[in-house]
Structure 1
Amino acid sequence: MKKSLRVFLPLLLALFFLTPTKAWADTANFSIKKVDTPEQTKAADFYDILAKPNQNTHLIANITNASDQQSTYTVTLRNGVTNDSGQIAYVPNTKKASGQTLNQLSPTAVKVTVPANSKKDVTIPIKMPATTYSGIILGAMHVEKETAQQKQTTKKAQIINHYGIEIPVVVRTTPSSTPDTKLQLKKVTAGLDTNKHSAVLATLYNESNWVLTPLKVDAKVYRKSNHKLLYSSHKKGLEMVPNSSFNYAIEPGDEPLKAGTYTLDMTAKSDKKTWHFSSEFTIKRATLKENAKNELKSPEKKKSINIIWLIVGFSILLLILIILYLLYKLRQKTKEQ
């Protein structure tokens, strides 16, 4: 079980700047609290660090072990990513990241043991980027407790419950400034959405070092041949981590995706910026066939398919009965002659 506790960034939520520091708690009898350092820029519930390039600095957290047993905790820095629901999440490591990541500033995990019913500070060293970095680096401090007593043995595998808490971390080498946000449409294809349903997937990429929030997207898909509107999608309250991408899904509704050539018309808005994208794309039968192997049919679609097969089966049975009846009548007429 992992619990991700996220807050909005200081760029947009000034209300948080005046709130006192609080402790993040988990159900596993432990909590963590941010300890401010000289590099902390604002009074907030998350880390907001401003330091010079190449400077060696650190993050400090106070861990409270509320259990009656000594416990060991692993502390790591996780990278901010944008999941395919268009929300911020934190992952252990981002391979092939296009920008600077938090984990690169401190890739080594730190372990700390806290006696029962006690508190203890843990320090995570950070090596700032070598050059001035315009924008922010976003991630989270992740504190995890592994409880050996909660191992469950099965015939094939051993399941271990992990309990973790996260505090968001913002790192910068220059003071706050007006964000220079940039958004790209990388590609459009047919695929599966987060619910494993068929959808048109438009890959959006935030190529800036700033967070896009809140992000609103309106998308429409037309048939190229007659410019007929087929599918549309309207979503708001989305967020994008710096230098990240995600697949914006446009669900076809009750109509299944079909092979052909289409045009995507999309408008995205964040703060005072607006981006408009238009892209022609082709869906191939082979792609739809491959997607169908992993697609999870919704109950409505399953019910619809079952009804169709029921009608087909009943029609075939009725046809057979009619043929048998006609053959019977023909045989009776032959006997009479």
Structure 2
Amino acid sequence: MKRLLPILSLVVLILFPSITFAEEGKESKGITENEKRAGFTVQAVLPDNQINDRISFYHLLMKPEQSQTIQVKIMNTSPEKQTYKVEVINAATNRNGLITYDKREKKPDKSMKLPITDVAKPKNKEATVDAFSEGQAEIDIQTPAEPFQGILLGGIRISLKSEGKEDDSKGMSVKNTYGYAIGLVLTEQDFAPVYGETDLKLTKLQPEIDYGSKVLEASIQNPHPEAMQKLTAEGKIVRKGQKSTLAKNSLEDVKIAPNSVFPFQIDWGMQEVSAGEYTFIGKIKGKTKTWNFKEDFTITREMAEKMNKQTAFRIFIPSWWMVSFYVVGTLTAVVTAWLIIRLIKRKKGREMHEKE
């Protein structure tokens, strides 16, 4: 068990909208600026079945039909009593190639037979801690009778509950402002690797609008119960049967969660998208394996019009602007010509006056 390779720390400090990863093995010296803003810190209380006690997240060796409750220590460093929201969320992969624990409503990939949210659940959805005091959140784990292979990966999120009130009738909900996510890895084989490079598959190509940009999204599936790390991803779009690159993208240090889809995106940029046949050419390279993808896709006229119309970054010149441009240009030319003629006449008049 101790021979397992060091694992990237899955403890995440969430200060919306950015997410940063803490470095494994480094202890905090005093309270950081982010912790001051959050007003609390958390710490995993590692149980006896922790596989590697040198890391700061849970990596537990389980057995079929095992019941266990684990604790997360919550230290309230603020001068006020605070309430925290407690959640367990399946690990997912975002378009930047990072493993995240913020996709609450995202359905697990079809390759995931046993989501960790079916196994680990908060004993209470909220925890309250007095000012300058220490409390805890508890997570109940119940493994099924049928053994599972590989790892289950998710995050235990402890978020500061805002003072806003929930109003289901108006579609409003409590907003979380600050929080932490602690990685939770479950396995029933102490030899099961957390990271591997078994296989990747291209399952879908979808031209779409994402955050106002025209993109082609290539769904790269990791169908196995192991995470991937230190991958490089690159891809480009060409016209079918041609070699000239229309758009491309590349990412370094990509990580993919177990049984999840990496939504690799290529931005078309400012260019207009036209209907036609295209080809996606992609490559993902790991330490021991390389996957090459090549697949044709079609952009219909309706799809192209929709993408060009809805993008927030397209150059739009209204017809009235063109008319105004020509009118102003003509007036400017007329006024300039009149001023020049007037200047010439005045100059001639002065010359005649001097001769007299």
Which residue does the alignment assign to 1:27?
37
Which residue does the alignment assign to 2:139?
124
Spell out the pairing of 1:106-255 with structure 2 (5 A cutoff): 106-108=120-122, 110=124, 111-148=126-163, 160-162=174-176, 163-177=178-192, 179-193=196-210, 195-255=211-271
Shift of 1:225: 4.2
Shift of 1:227: 4.1
Report the residue type matching 1:277 in the other structure: F
For the pair 1:102 / 2:77, whether they are aligned, the reply is no
Instruction: Return the alpha-carbon distance in structure 2 between the equivalents of residues 158 and 280 of structure 1.
Output: 42
Which residue does the alignment assign to 2:337?
none
Shift of 1:244: 1.0
CA RMSD of aligned residues (A): 3.6
Rg larger in structure: 2
Instruction: Return the alpha-carbon distance in structure 1 between the equivalents of residues 155 and 171 of structure 2.
Output: 30
Spell out the pairing of 1:236-315 with structure 2 (5 A cutoff): 236-297=252-313, 301-302=314-315, 305-306=316-317, 314=325
Q: Determine helix, strand or coil for the equivalent of 2:15.
A: coil
Report the residue type matching 2:199 in the other structure: K
Instruction: Return the alpha-carbon distance in structure 2 between the equivalents of residues 201 and 165 of structure 1.
Output: 29
Shift of 1:241: 0.9
Instruction: Return the alpha-carbon distance in structure 2 between the equivalents of residues 218 and 296 of structure 1.
Output: 25
Which residue does the alignment assign to 1:11?
none
Q: Determine helix, strand or coil for the equivalent of 1:27.
A: helix
Shift of 1:159: 7.8
Shift of 1:275: 0.5
Shift of 1:224: 1.5
Shift of 1:267: 1.1
Shift of 1:79: 1.2
Contact 1:21–1:44 (CA under 8 A) maintained in structure 2: no
Shift of 1:105: 1.0
Structure 2: runs of 5 or more not aligned:
1-12, 332-356
Instruction: Return the alpha-carbon distance in structure 1 between the equivalents of residues 127 and 330 of structure 2.
Output: 76
Shift of 1:58: 2.5
- Percent identity over paired residues: 25
Which residue does the alignment assign to 2:15?
3
Instruction: Return the alpha-carbon distance in structure 2 between the equivalents of residues 262 and 147 of structure 1.
Output: 48
For the structure 1 residues 227 and 97, does the alpha-carbon distance in structure 2 shift closer, same or farther, using more than 3 Å as the test?
A: closer
Which residue does the alignment assign to 1:41?
51
Q: Deviations over 1:134-168 (max 9, x none)?
A: 322111111123243x6799xx9978542322111
Contact 1:203–1:248 (CA under 8 A) maintained in structure 2: yes
Report the residue type matching 2:15 in the other structure: K
Contact 2:123–2:140 (CA under 8 A) maintained in structure 1: no
Shift of 1:306: 3.8
Which residue does the alignment assign to 2:334?
none
